[in-house]
Amino acid sequence: MSLFSDRLNHASIVDGVVLSRAEHVRYRHNDMEHLRTLLKKYRDRRRKLIVTDAVFSMDGDKAHLRELVALKQEFGAMLMVDEAHSGGIYGRCGEGLSYDLGLQDQVDIHMGTFSKSFGVYGAYICGSRTLIRWLVNHARPLIYSTALPPSIVTGISKALELVISDHWRRERLLEVSRLFRSLLSDSGFITGDGDSPIVPLIVGDNETAMRFSLALEEQGIAAVAIRPPSVPDGTARIRFSLSAVHSDKELIDAAYYIRTIGHQIGVL
Ligand SMILES: Cc1ncc(COP(=O)(O)O)c(C=O)c1O
């Protein structure tokens, strides 16, 4: 098996690849031409799996799922999508980005977590009956770990009900994401290419990111500094995560403090 993995995929995917002992082929972030070149180079491999985050955890930008589906079809590969940061948010009932784009049947392995928008813990994998049977019988981390406790499973069931029925939360979340991102980028901050509820504010060096995060904390704004190796060298950042219950006023006030701190520590 050869695994083709986006360079900015989450660490858990990288660990999974290592644990699988499959051949690890990394392509440049969201660079479909690079992936095509690599798929061509390894085209003789009998089994190929492309794996990607749907929404990238440190940048908040989206995978190019349509292009990935086209490439998987062209090269006879399978496609696995990690919907950790898109489950609950995209799709008619929060099914994820693949569903939002109508590509659900083209994705061979869907996975996601219940720890982000669902607000609980645990994770899921969906795929063919054969795949699920194979995982249940062969996936060592699953077989040799204690199952989720009933209280957590009950919490997940309730969260699923809310996610499926409360469409307003999804709409509001995307609305606040747009507002907050534009408040920051209009102030001159670098916020990357995304449009999701993960909003990075790239500052560059580690020390500035730490000072920024501490100054925010003093103003009652919780946003952690993310540094290498979680992100590439020289791209330390503050990562904001938005919620459907943030009010416009809270975000406008937060943007004011962020701007003030940005000036004070020389990011702006
Ligand atoms: C893309 C992605 N996949 C998987 C995970 C792991 O999720 P959990 O913390 O629920 O194990 C994360 C967590 O940050 C993530 O961002």
- Output the residue whose Cα is nearest ligand 1's atom 9: 115
pLDDT value for 266: 93
pLDDT value for 118: 96
Last residue of one domain, picked from the residues 140, 164, 188:
164
**Domain containing 35 — which CATH number?**
3.40.640.10
172 and 145 in a common domain: no
pLDDT value for 99: 98
113 lines ligand 1 (CB under 6 A): yes
Answer whether 197's CB lies under 8 Å from 60's CB.
yes
* Averaged pLDDT, 138-153: 95
127 and 109 in a common domain: yes
228 and 206 in a common domain: yes
| Tens of pLDDT, residues 55-114 | 999 999 999 999 999 999 999 999 999 999 999 999 999 999 999 999 999 999 999 999
Pocket test for ligand 1, best of 15, 51, 57 (most atoms within 8 A of CB): 57
Residues 94 and 89: their CA atoms lie apart, in Å, by 5
CB count, 10 Å around CB of 130?
8
Enclosing domain of residue 233: 167-264
Last residue of one domain, picked from the residues 164, 189, 210:
164
- Output the residue whose Cα is nearest ligand 1's atom 3: 84
pLDDT value for 235: 96
| Tens of pLDDT, residues 157-202 | 999 999 999 999 999 999 999 999 999 999 999 999 999 999 999 9
106 lines ligand 1 (CB under 6 A): no
Spell 140-172 as b/e; 16+ CB within 10 A means b.
Answer: eeeeeeeebeeeeeebbeebbeebeeeeebbeb
57 lines ligand 1 (CB under 6 A): yes
Last residue of one domain, picked from the residues 134, 164, 194:
164
Answer whether 81's CB lies under 8 Å from 62's CB.
no
Give the count of domains, the chain.
Answer: 2
Pocket test for ligand 1, best of 115, 118, 226, 231 (most atoms within 8 A of CB): 115
Q: How far does residue 113's CA lie from ligand 1's centre (Å)?
A: 6
Beta bridge partners of 90: none
| Tens of pLDDT, residues 11-46 | 999 999 999 999 999 999 999 999 999 999 999 999
Helix axis angle for 248-264 and 206-218, nearest 10°, is: 130
Active centre residues (catalytic): 57, 85, 116
**Domain containing 217 — which CATH number?**
3.90.1150.10
Residue 56, C-beta contacts closer than 8 angstroms, at least 6 positions apart: 6, 8, 9, 29, 62, 63, 85, 194, 198
Task: Work out which ligand 1 atom sits closest to the CA atom of 53.
Answer: 1
Residue 104, C-beta contacts closer than 8 angstroms, at least 6 positions apart: 95, 98, 110
195 and 148 in a common domain: no
Answer whether 81's CB lies under 8 Å from 111's CB.
yes
pLDDT value for 233: 95
pLDDT value for 216: 98
- Output the residue whose Cα is nearest ligand 1's atom 10: 115
Between the two ends of the chain, the Cα-to-Cα distance in Å is 47
209 and 144 in a common domain: no
Q: How far does residue 10's CA lie from ligand 1's centre (Å)?
A: 7
Q: How far does residue 160's CA lie from ligand 1's centre (Å)?
A: 18
